A and B are shown apart, each in its own frame.
Chain A
């Protein structure tokens, strides 16, 4: 409680100075004084990374010695969590959060996020139209760096296009002597049956990204918009955490940590789960 009051006082005192600084840049347009939630709100994911990495303070100024005294990194990181009133108790396991923060602030090996690391995955909840039916699918993307140091997002995976629980039907198979008759039964098995999956090898997993690409290339899917983005971050050894946007006019808002899990896993293994 005292901590929140100190923060609020700190914000109001600095608001006065920061507004004067902004006012110098405004030639004609008269502007409204920013509300405290607008200052503290983590407005972009890049701003989340800046605060996580202890690069910038609440007013986007480089962290200096005065700020470090006021808000050491261990305390500053606590502002990056979603402190909603109807919180999930498993998320707010105090020990989990403390261990997570201790890992990040390790004296010898402090952790900083690499913005363009392949350890940051964006999960997009997307609204599409497939065969004139509205559908929600998920796309998973990460950033890729080119030799000229340029950056772009690339798609790793898609899901939601097909029914996950599809099983192979025992009564659909290619008979064992088909090779002797030129596999002539394939035309009956494949045409007008809409089930080639049952004919695939034992460990085959449907690659929905290929399906998605084919649908796009053949104009069979209409992409409408992205409804939500969740970032999955695997950069802190031993932990995976998720960051998503909380749009509310409160001090604790914007891009915030919504979940943490103890897990040591590669990106490839992690994506298999989705």
Chain B
């Protein structure tokens, strides 16, 4: 009886806490609506999503660093790979542009799963991936499908070692497609704006072998 009373009290308190959330909070904090309602993003909400985008991009960068780091345990790298993939929209691709010795540009496109998988198995004894502390994120624009689209630009430095010798290093600029989508949460009967990463275009800007 006491246990039932305790469980019931916990449930009631949780219910009250959930519904006590300030409904005037920004969309980023979790704007709620009935499933049948249409939601338009206000300008101030879009600005807040820009900040959330930075955090998502940082999260992606953290996973990339872990995946590439051969000194990390395999389980940790595998988990980072799974977590990184969860950030992406379905069928996201990585397109890479590389300047060849003859000056021509080679463009290769791969599904994101393959790109991340290849990152784990590069032919170096050690791989160091670092990111620069600069990110440009453009304004969100509404698409005909009701989603909002943006792009984030970041810079990544890659270094591959053979023992203590640097075999390869380059700096690439990456453009990451950002998609803001209204996702249905059937359990709570509400819709939430969720940020996904989409296709990525990588351009080599500086190479030293």
Give the A-B pair count, Cβ closer than 8 A. Answer: 80
Over the window 180-221 of chain A, the binary record of Cβ atoms lying under 8 Å from chain B Cβ atoms (1 yes, 0 no) is 000000000000000000000000000000000000000000
Chain B residues 118-162 with CB under 8 Å of chain A are 130-134, 136, 138-139, 141-146, 151, 153, 155, 157
* A69 interfacial by beta-carbon distance below 8 Å: no
| A70 at interface by CB-CB < 8 Å | no
Contact of A29 among B65, B141, B153 (CB under 8 A): B65
Query: Which chain B residues border A60 with CB–CB below 8 Å?
Result: 136
Give the shortest distance, in Å, between A259 (CB) and chain B (any CB): 21
Residue interface mask A246-265, B partner, CB < 8 A = 1? 01110000000000000000
Contact of B205 among A29, A148, A224, A249 (CB under 8 A): A249
Q: For the complex, give the distance between the alpha carbons of A8 and B111 in Å.
A: 40
For chain B, what secondary structure do more than half of its interface residues adopt (helix, strand, loop), or is it mixed? strand
- Interface extent on A, as a size class? 20 to 34
- Give Cα A43 to B203, complex, Å: 11
Question: Which of A31-39, A98-106, A164-172, A234-242 is the interface stretch?
Answer: A31-39
Q: Which of B107, B145, B206 contacts A249 (CB 8 A)?
A: B206
CA distance A38 to B203 in the complex (A): 13
* B54 on the A face (CB < 8 A): yes
**Minimum Cβ distance to chain B for residue A86 (Å):** 14
The chain A residue sitting closest to B58, CB to CB, is A29
Whether B132 pairs with A35 at a CB distance below 8 angstroms is yes
For the complex formed, measure the closest distance between the CB of B199 and the CB atoms of chain A, giving whole angstroms: 12
Whether A47 pairs with B138 at a CB distance below 8 angstroms is yes
Let me know if A25 and B54 touch, CB within 8 A: yes
A21 to chain B, nearest CB (A): 9
Q: Which residue from chain B places its CB closest to the CB of A43 in the assembled complex?
A: B153
CA A47 to CA B152, docked complex, whole Å: 11
Chain B residues, Cβ within 8 Å of A176: none
Contact (Cβ within 8 A) A227 B151: no
Contact check, A38 vs B132: say whether CB atoms are below 8 A apart.
yes
Does B105 make an interface contact (CB < 8 A)? yes
Q: Which residues of A28-54 are within 8 A (CB) of B?
A: 28-35, 38-39, 43-44, 46-47
10 A-B interface contacts by CB (under 8 A)? A27-B58, A28-B62, A32-B133, A32-B157, A43-B173, A44-B175, A146-B144, A150-B145, A151-B143, A248-B205
Residues of chain B whose beta carbon lies under 8 Å from any beta carbon of chain A = 54-55, 58, 61-62, 65, 95, 105, 107, 109, 130-134, 136, 138-139, 141-146, 151, 153, 155, 157, 171, 173, 175, 203, 205-206
